[in-house]
């Protein structure tokens, strides 16, 4: 459509801000180049209407503020646009068909490396077992990182598409295949720009394993993904979001997602015949009292202005109808709006479990994960290869400002929203604890396409129309952030 054109024409509104003018002129140039590269030919059903970008961008680029050099770049990008859009969707569908879990991403990582090699992008591997780090640009500061998570979930896919999961019991039900394909497309665009001398710094691509409970971001940090030369100065991440309408871009300053970790408890009593309870110490009764008391933490110990959750999600005891078992095991999750609140709630859980068990004549053992890097070395199970608590996702104000301004050109100012804070977890937060960064959400909900199923649902369907939006946002943010860091 034509809705994006006015946003480019309004570039003059930034010219009163000296340094800002140069930054956003670069942003506009990048967006013109990228948008031309991803606009689909309506005759191609795979990518028709995929980008929603302005079909009049070439005319806009002819304006004086863009210059003749950019015009030539736009012309070259237009020639390659159709093939690039299909390429993006093709990468996503291939990745969707080979979902893998946690750090065990042999096929996924190999495919990503093959694609990077095919477009001439050098990379470092292995990082965090199957992670990949690739630098594009000058090899010097400023350095901005773009991140995509690659792992899938242990879910049996319910789908009839011909590119559905070929791995039984595994599915890309959280959109990570889309995240990875968006970053691959951004890599291709950035590489072409770097080869033309149009990238004035370094963009680091972080293809990350094990977001789904394995703290892959922390493992990449430990392997030097942020600290290698040149060190990363700002980081950018995206997530598709089915509860937001397609074409919406949402983010906000400050806490966006909560600190997240699990816990497990064992209560030890004394087993006995069910008809002779006086001869034993019933750990089931103790567990019911303890679990009830745990719910008082949020309502009576946590400041009502803050957010927190203590949810018991599993419990196991005994195997017979006529036997009081000697022990009970239960566990769940703690969520909080920041690290300090999470640690306080943890301390209350621990105290209530031990004192409650003691009052009922039982003994207790508790296990909690950790925020420290050593958590990576404490494997709980194959399904949970690390015992880490994810910090809260906290967006840096400057990074959010850059992301919103670039998104205004891509999505349209009327499509920008402030995301509602959530206590879901996301290990992008580890990167943000090291450098300023922003994590944002791209709406993909469309009832007519069946793309409103929730994340982690066996019917979750990624809306391929949003892929060019995400790739464009990665590219534009990288250029804008580099320009900002050069000031």
CB 331 within 8 A of CB 313: yes
Assign 3-class secondary structure to 76-122. Answer: HHHHHHHHHHHHHHHHHHHHHHCCCECCCCHHHHHHHHHHHHHCCCC
Burial track 182-198 (b if 16+ CB lie within 10 A, e otherwise): bbbbbbbbbbbbbeeeb
Q: Which of 226, 221, 227, 200 shows the shortest CA–CA distance to 142?
A: 200
Query: What is residue 84's predicted lDDT score, i.e. its pLDDT?
Result: 77
Strands 259-268 and 363-367: antiparallel
- Whole-number Å distance between alpha carbons of 249 and 240: 10
Query: What is residue 275's predicted lDDT score, i.e. its pLDDT?
Result: 98
Which pTM was predicted?
0.84
- Whole-number Å distance between alpha carbons of 366 and 354: 8
Number of residues assigned to the chain: 487
Strands 202-208 and 143-149: parallel
Burial class (CB in 10 A: 0-12, 13-18, 19+), 94: middle
Question: pLDDT 10s digit of each residue in the chain, 487 long?
Answer: 333 333 333 333 333 444 444 455 555 555 554 444 444 333 333 333 333 444 333 333 333 333 343 333 333 333 333 457 889 999 999 999 999 999 999 999 999 999 999 999 999 999 999 999 999 999 999 999 999 999 999 999 999 999 999 999 999 999 999 999 999 999 999 999 899 998 899 999 999 999 999 999 999 999 999 999 999 999 999 999 999 999 899 999 999 999 999 999 999 999 999 999 999 999 999 999 999 999 999 999 999 888 899 999 999 999 999 999 999 999 999 999 999 999 999 999 999 999 999 999 999 999 999 998 889 988 766 666 678 999 999 999 999 999 998 888 888 889 999 999 999 999 999 999 999 999 999 999 999 999 999 999 999 999 998 988 888 889 889 988 998 999 8
Query: What is residue 372's predicted lDDT score, i.e. its pLDDT?
Result: 87
């Amino acid at each position: 459509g034509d809705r994006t054109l006015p946003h480019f024409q309004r570039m003059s509104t930034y010219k009163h801000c000296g340094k800002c003018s140069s930054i956003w002129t670069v942003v506009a140039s990048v967006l013109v180049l990228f948008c031309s590269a991803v606009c689909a030919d309506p005759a191609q059903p795979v990518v028709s209407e995929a980008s929603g970008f302005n079909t009049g961008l070439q005319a806009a680029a002819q304006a004086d503020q863009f210059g003749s050099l950019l015009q030539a770049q736009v012309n070259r990008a237009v020639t390659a646009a159709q093939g690039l859009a299909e390429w993006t969707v093709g990468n996503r569908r291939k990745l969707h068909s080979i979902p893998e879990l946690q750090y065990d991403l042999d096929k996924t990582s190999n495919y990503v490396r093959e694609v990077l090699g095919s477009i001439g992008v050098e990379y470092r591997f292995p990082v965090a077992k199957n992670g990949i780090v690739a630098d594009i640009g000058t090899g010097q500061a400023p350095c901005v990182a773009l991140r995509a998570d690659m792992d899938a979930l242990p879910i049996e896919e319910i789908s009839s598409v011909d590119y559905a999961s070929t791995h039984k019991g595994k599915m890309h039900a959280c959109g990570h295949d889309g995240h990875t394909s968006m970053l691959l497309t951004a890599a291709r665009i950035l590489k072409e720009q770097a080869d033309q001398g149009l990238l004035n710094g370094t963009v680091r691509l972080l293809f990350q394993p094990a977001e789904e409970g394995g703290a892959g971001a922390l493992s990449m940090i430990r392997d030097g993904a942020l600290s290698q030369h040149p060190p990363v100065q700002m980081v950018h991440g995206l997530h598709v979001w089915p509860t937001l309408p397609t074409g919406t871009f949402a983010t906000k300053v400050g806490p966006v997602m909560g600190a997240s970790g699990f816990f497990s408890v064992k209560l030890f009593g004394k087993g006995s015949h069910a008809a002779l309870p006086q001869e034993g110490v019933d750990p089931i009764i103790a567990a019911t009292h303890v679990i009830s008391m745990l719910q008082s933490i949020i309502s009576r110990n946590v400041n009502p202005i803050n957010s927190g959750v203590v949810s018991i999600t599993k419990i196991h005891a005994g195997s017979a109808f006529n036997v009081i078992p000697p022990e009970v095991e239960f566990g769940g999750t703690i969520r909080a709006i920041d690290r300090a609140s999470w640690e306080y709630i943890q301390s209350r859980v621990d105290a209530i479990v031990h004192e409650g068990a003691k009052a009922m004549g039982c003994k207790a053992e508790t296990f909690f994960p950790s925020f420290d890097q050593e958590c990576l070395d404490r494997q709980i199970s194959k399904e949970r290869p690390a015992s880490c608590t994810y910090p809260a996702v906290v967006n840096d104000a400057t990074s959010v400002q850059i992301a919103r301004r670039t998104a205004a050109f891509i999505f349209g100012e009327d499509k920008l929203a402030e995301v509602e804070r959530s206590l879901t977890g996301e290990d992008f937060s580890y990167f943000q604890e090291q450098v300023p960064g922003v994590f944002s959400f791209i709406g993909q909900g469309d009832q007519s396409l069946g793309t409103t199923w929730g994340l982690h649902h066996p019917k979750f369907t990624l809306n391929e129309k949003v892929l060019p939006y995400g790739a464009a946002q990665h590219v534009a943010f990288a250029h804008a952030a580099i320009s900002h860091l050069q000031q």
